Amino acid sequence: MKIGFISLGCSKNQVDSERVMGLLKTNGHTMTTTLEDAQAIFVNTCGFINPAKEESINTILEMAEYKQRNLKKLIVIGCLSQRYKQDLILELPEVDRFIGVSEYGKLDEILSDVLETKIIGTYGKMERLISKKSHTAYLKISEGCSNRCTYCAIPLIRGNMKSYPQEELILEAQKLVLHGVKELVLIAQDTTRYMEDQGSNQLGSLLKALNDLPGLKWIRILYMYPNAVSKKLLSEMKACDKVIPYFDIPIQHADDALLTAMNRKGSVQDNRQVISDIREVYPDAILRTTLIVGFPGETLAQFQSLLEFVKEIRFDRLGAFAYSLEEDTPAYDLPESLSETDKQERLLQVMDLQAKISEEKQKALIGQTFEVLIDSKEKNSDVYHGRSIHSAPDQIDGEVLFVSETSHKIGSFVKVKITRNDEYDLFGELV
């Protein structure tokens, strides 16, 4: 059967999609990007925030139109199916099956039924089908989250944190490297608490084991909870030469009262100290963070404190979101103090400030030479796109662009001297 696959949402969802596709491919099915030819289409949905929910619904409706062509089965999986399954069954009769994340353990049985063909194998135990760049892959080290931030629905959807055994992760990583992966990106809802659900933190042990894999070049860690970035962890990271000094540490806000209302662990001063500790060990550390503006009760003074913190720390990368109501979360019942217009104005202020900081930081890199992993080449052009250690994959951060008449293999490393910049991208020449 020809199968089309649409994966929405975060990188963690992408890994889920690759596992499902791997299961299907192992059972003889063919993946196609030509949706007009697909006999079955899977949509892996996101149900985290309202814009993501809307995108998921719109995509489902768009895919349903292919039923007027070859499409026989439309299957919707993921977070939206988990959270709103019964409502969706009533509202979207075009869909043949909704499968929530809690059902993935019996995916072989469910898919055998809906596809009317025998599916053999266990979800997560079959080889993943890497859907994007073959030289970069995500390694999801745990599922769910136990932090219970008041604005977040992830624990409602995915449950408490459950770490994957280290031996399984190493085996998965070995297979990925064998297939040409040069950069492993560790992901989870909270990577820094790996195996704490089993009694003790083992992130350092996992990093050491991954660091020993021949053929692997970079190990990048995303979704690091600030108060879990300990001096011990920094020491363990420093001991691993393949672990790059890229710190994705969502602080969410810079006001203690709001951090408490969000049920975030650690104070503003704690976050400031963590950043200081990181920069002491890694003077050239790349710092990325995520912020929420317009959380219920956020005053103008509290928002100004956030702006001052951003000015003080000067993050290399920053993403910000306007708070949106999430039903069934503790923050849902808090009285909103700002209009959507006010939230968007504050969001714009934060991003304008960060744009200036980013451009200044980018400009400071001019004249320096970096190792660049080539991600792509423009069609009918000599322009290559790649990333240094400063940038995570999938357009989360900026790129490094260079021109070369000599052919270079996608997924190879080259040295590039930076000659100019814009807000987020760097431009250079081969050396």
Distance CA 228, CA 195 (A): 13
- Ranges of each domain in the chain: 2-115, 136-363, 369-430
369-430 in CATH: which number?
Answer: 2.40.50.140
DSSP, res 336: P
DSSP states along 194-226: TTGGGTS--HHHHHHHHHT-TT--EEEE----G
Whether this model's pTM surpasses 0.75? yes
CATH architecture of the domain formed by 136-363: Alpha-Beta Horseshoe (3.80)
Class of domain 2-115: alpha beta
Q: What are all long-range contacts of 166-172, with beta carbons under 8 Å and residues at least 24 apart?
A: 166/195, 166/202, 166/205, 166/206, 166/209, 169/139, 169/141, 169/206, 169/210, 170/209, 170/210, 170/213, 172/128, 172/139
Cα–Cα distances in angstroms (integers) from residue 141 to residues 46, 233, 321, in the given order: 19, 16, 25
User: pLDDT (tens digit, 0 to 9) for every residue of the chain, 431 residues total?
Assistant: 999 999 998 899 999 999 999 999 999 999 999 999 999 999 999 988 888 899 999 999 999 999 988 899 999 999 999 999 999 999 999 999 999 999 999 999 999 999 999 999 988 887 888 777 789 999 999 999 999 999 999 999 999 999 999 999 999 999 999 999 999 999 999 999 999 999 999 999 999 999 999 999 999 999 999 999 999 999 999 999 999 999 999 999 999 999 999 999 999 999 999 999 999 999 999 999 999 999 999 999 999 999 999 999 999 999 999 999 999 999 999 998 899 999 999 999 999 999 999 999 999 999 999 999 999 999 999 999 999 999 999 777 899 999 999 999 999 999 999 999 988 899 999 99
At residue 43, φ and ψ (nearest 5 deg) are -120, 115
Distance CA 370, CA 90 (A): 54
Distance CA 398, CA 396 (A): 7
Distance CA 196, CA 208 (A): 17
Distance CA 312, CA 289 (A): 14
